[in-house]
Amino acid sequence: MNRARSKEAFILGIFIFLGLAFLGYTLGSSAVKIKEYERTVKVKGLSQKEFPADIIIWPIQFTVADNTLKGIYSSLDSDADKIKQFLISQGVPTEEISISLASVTDKTANMYGSEKTPEFRYTSTRTVTVYSKNVAQVREVMNRIGELGKAGIALTGNNYDNRIEYLFTRLNEVKPAMIEEATNKAREVATKFAEDSSSRLGKIKSASQGQFTIYDRDRNTPHIKKLRVVSTVEFYLSD
């Protein structure tokens, strides 16, 4: 009876040993495969394109001076109307033109005893703004703005607070194609790396898209916008 039990225990031990051996082999093989899949390459792909701006904001600022409030407000209204009529005559729709409130300064209010009495007591600035999607047309009108100066309107310079702005608002339209291009360029770089390392490029492990940046092509052509995006993609490698 003891011999029978010993034989059963021996046989059971053999099966346990074989089972553990098989399990160890399976786990070892899986570990090797997992380790192989951990071989990756991370690359970046750039997409950069130029597009024309699709909105222009053109502030036309002018200055008037007078010794009476009645006179200065009359001049403000008159010059603002002249500018508006000039723009309309050049084909700019009325709904694209807006006129700001006037800002009047009383020069005598801040005078000190040693200062001379100013020639004009009141000065004021006002802005007529064009907000248009027809960028090309408005840029043509800008070239003829000198006609307002000949009409006696004192236009101020294009300072920082009153500068012309060009906007690009079609980002959502161009995003998909640019992201695709950036990803394809990343794949090209990864493929070259795989070939140089005697490997094969596998599937994408992870991917992240950088922020889109929009800026002027240069300071002389602010109406041309440059869009840029970088995608980071990680690929699996295999032998």
The CATH number that applies at residue 95 is 3.30.70.2970
48 and 61: one domain?
Answer: no
Most confident of 21-25, 133-137, 196-200: 133-137
Q: Any alpha helices (H) in 62-134, and if so which ranges?
A: 69-89
pLDDT digits (tens, 9 = 90+) for 91-134: 999 999 999 998 888 887 766 655 677 788 899 999 999 999 99
Any residues with CB less than 8 A from the CB of 230 and at least 6 apart, and which? 44, 45, 46, 47, 182, 210
Q: What is the mean pLDDT of residues 13-19?
A: 53
Torsion of CA 193, 196, 198, 202, to 10 degrees: 20
Look up the domain containing 65 and give its range: 55-167
Mean pLDDT of the chain: 84
Most confident of 16-25, 33-42, 58-67: 58-67
Strand pairing of 224-238 and 40-52?
Answer: antiparallel
Residue 39: pLDDT band (50, 70, 90) is confident
How many distinct structural domains can be found in the chain?
Answer: 3
Greatest Cα-to-Cα distance within the chain, rounded to the nearest angstrom: 132
33 and 62: one domain?
Answer: no
125 and 149: one domain?
Answer: yes
Any residues with CB less than 8 A from the CB of 39 and at least 6 apart, and which? 199, 236, 237, 238
pLDDT digits (tens, 9 = 90+) for 139-182: 999 999 999 988 899 998 766 667 899 999 999 999 999 999 99
pTM: 0.75
Confidence at residue 95, expressed as pLDDT on a 0 to 100 scale = 97
